[in-house]
Amino acid sequence: MDRGGLAEFLRRRRDRLSPADVGLPSGVRRRTPGLRRDEVALQAGMSVDYYTRLEQARGPHPSVPLLAAIARALRLTDDERDHLFHLAGQAPPARHHPGLHVSPGLLHVLDRLSDAPAFVVSDLGEVLVQNAMSAAVTGDTASRTGLHRNFIWRWFTDSAVRDRYPREDWDRHSRSHVADLRATATRRRGDDDVESLVRRLLSASPEFAALWSEHEVAVRRADAKLVIHPEVGVLDFLCETLVSGVGDQILVVLYPRPGTDAREKLDLLRVIGTQTLTASH
DSSP 226-245: EEEETTTEEEEEEEEEEE-S
Domain limits for position 49:
3-87
Contacts of 100 (CB under 8 A, 6+ apart): 64, 65, 68, 69, 72, 93, 126, 128
- Residue 96 in any domain: the answer is no
Q: Same domain for 203 and 266?
A: yes
**Taking all residues of the chain, what is their mean pLDDT, rounded to a whole number?**
85
What phi and psi, each to the nearest 5 degrees, are found at residue 107?
A: -65, -35
- Please tell me which residue, 87 or 105, carries the higher pLDDT value: 87
At 164-183, the pLDDT tens digits run: 999 999 999 999 999 999 98
The domain boundary, picked from 61, 87, 113, lies at: 87
Whole-number pLDDT of residue 259:
92
Is residue 116 classed as helix, strand or coil in its secondary structure?
coil
Q: Same domain for 126 and 14?
A: no
Whole-number pLDDT of residue 228:
94
We report the CATH number of the domain holding residue 76 as 1.10.260.40
- Please tell me which residue, 59 or 274, carries the higher pLDDT value: 59
Number of domains in the chain: 2
Amino acid at 57: A
The domain boundary, picked from 24, 54, 87, lies at: 87
Amino acid at 47: S
Is residue 253 classed as helix, strand or coil in its secondary structure?
strand
Q: Which of 244, 248, 265 lies closest to 256, judged by CA? A: 265
Distance of CA 70 to the CA centre of its chain: 13
- Residue 193 in any domain: the answer is yes
Interatomic CA distance for residues 38 and 101, integer angstroms: 21
Interatomic CA distance for residues 37 and 281, integer angstroms: 15
Binning pLDDT at 50, 70 and 90, where does residue 43 land?
confident
Highest mean pLDDT range out of 81-85, 113-117, 118-122, 201-205? 201-205
Mean pLDDT within 193-207: 94
Whole-number pLDDT of residue 95:
56
Interatomic CA distance for residues 149 and 256, integer angstroms: 25
Whole-number pLDDT of residue 34:
80
At 205-218, the pLDDT tens digits run: 999 999 999 888 88
Would you say 177 and 126 are in contact if contact means Cβ atoms under 8 Å apart? no
Whole-number pLDDT of residue 269:
86
Interatomic CA distance for residues 75 and 73, integer angstroms: 6
Q: Same domain for 51 and 160?
A: no
CB atoms within 10 A of CB 241: 14
Whole-number pLDDT of residue 161:
92
Which bin fits 99, alpha (ψ -120 to 50), beta or left (φ > 0)? beta
